[in-house]
């Protein structure tokens, strides 16, 4: 749903998939937000309360714990921040599904930040990790911003607004509905 967004953002969201494809083919992934070298991006080193610690999932059900134990090498070999973002997306898909991603991955068919870390599931299909988040600082920064802000007591809508404000001008964003409430 794009209701309430400024006209320029609605137009950008409609043209976004095409623009992302043109940018990626013309300039490579660095033209979109994935090659971010902004402070706090995946390549800038650990920050936050879990700096330097590999995230271990907390309150996951057995299916999610089994998926984490069987995670692919691109997650196992990731730095602490990226690993933490993957674990957070696995543990809290009900959060990251409401957050758009502004790295340009809309051109890959992504619908939200969740698609940067986990492949879409049909019914009872096994949980599968998406490799994109393992090399995209914007994806990681978005998930970790949500983790930090929710731990500070912010609402999901406040997190969404902060994500839009922080990353909204980097590249075309995914067409992600606003969170309920």
Tell me the pLDDT tens digit for each residue of 82-133. Answer: 999 999 999 999 999 999 999 999 999 999 999 999 999 988 899 999 999 9
Q: Where are the domains of the chain?
A: 7-45+54-167
CB contact set of 32 (below 8 Å; sequence gap of 6+): 20, 23, 24, 103, 104, 105, 107, 170, 171
| Percent over 70 (pLDDT), the chain | 67
pTM of the model as a whole: 0.72
Could you report the per-residue pLDDT of 13-46, keeping only the tens digit for each?
Answer: 544 444 444 444 333 444 455 644 333 333 333 3
Burial 84-119 (b: 16+ CB within 10 A, else e): bbbbbbbbbbebbbbbbbbbbbbbbebbbbbbbbbe
pLDDT at 123: 86
CB contact set of 110 (below 8 Å; sequence gap of 6+): 101, 116, 132, 174
Could you report the per-residue pLDDT of 62-86, keeping only the tens digit for each?
Answer: 999 999 999 999 999 999 999 999 9
pLDDT category of residue 180 using cuts at 50, 70 and 90 = confident
Mean pLDDT computed over every residue of the chain: 79
Q: Look at residue 170 and tell me whether its pLDDT is greater than 70.
A: yes
3-class DSSP assignment, residue 17: helix
């Amino acid at each position: 749903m794009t209701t309430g967004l400024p006209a320029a953002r609605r137009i950008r969201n409609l043209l976004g998939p095409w623009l992302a494809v043109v940018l990626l083919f013309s300039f490579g992934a660095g033209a979109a937000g994935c090659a971010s070298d902004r402070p706090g991006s995946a390549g800038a080193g650990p920050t936050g309360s879990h700096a330097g610690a590999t995230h271990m999932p907390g309150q996951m059900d057995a299916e999610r714990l089994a998926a984490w134990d069987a995670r692919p090498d691109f997650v196992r070999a990731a730095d602490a921040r990226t690993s933490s973002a993957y674990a957070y997306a696995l543990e809290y898909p009900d959060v990251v599904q409401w957050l758009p991603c502004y790295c340009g991955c809309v051109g890959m068919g992504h619908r939200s930040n969740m698609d940067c870390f986990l492949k879409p599931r049909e019914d009872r299909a096994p949980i599968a990790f998406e490799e994109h988040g393992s090399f995209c600082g914007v994806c990681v920064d978005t998930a970790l911003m949500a983790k930090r802000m929710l731990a500070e007591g912010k609402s999901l809508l406040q997190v969404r607004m902060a994500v839009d404000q922080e990353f909204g001008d980097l590249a075309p964003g995914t067409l992600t509905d606003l969170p309920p409430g």
